[in-house]
Amino acid sequence: MEIRHMNQNALAARWAISPRTLERWRWAGEGPLFIKLGGRVVYRLKDVEAFEAEQIRQATPNASRSSERQPRVAEQISI
């Protein structure tokens, strides 16, 4: 039997993330497409795989220079 859908727990296990992360993504309109049947949420395998394909990156963009932590200047004590 071919698996065509998975529930929240199965997808969370696949990606090694918390099921609550998937809940938060759904609330925020992020993450893969999902189907809600009554109170049950399922993800179509083709939508999960499409979302995974969209996440493929060649490199991570550089962080903003302003967000880098500045080194502390030691306090000078005169005797």
Cβ atoms within 10 Å, residue 32: 21
Q: What is the mean pLDDT of residues 40-69?
A: 84
- Determine the length of the chain: 79
Beta strands at 35-37 and 5-7: parallel, antiparallel or unpaired: unpaired
Residue-level pLDDT at 60 = 82
Digit-coded pLDDT (tens) for 14-52: 999 999 999 999 999 999 999 998 999 999 999 999 999
- List, as one string, the DSSP characters of 4-55: -EEEHHHHHHHHT--HHHHHHHHHHT-SS--EEETTEEEEEHHHHHHHHHHT
Instruction: DSSP letter for 65, please.
Output: G
The yes-or-no verdict on residue 3 having pLDDT over 60 is: yes
Residue-level pLDDT at 53 = 95
Please indicate, yes or no, whether the overall pTM of this predicted structure exceeds 0.85. Answer: no
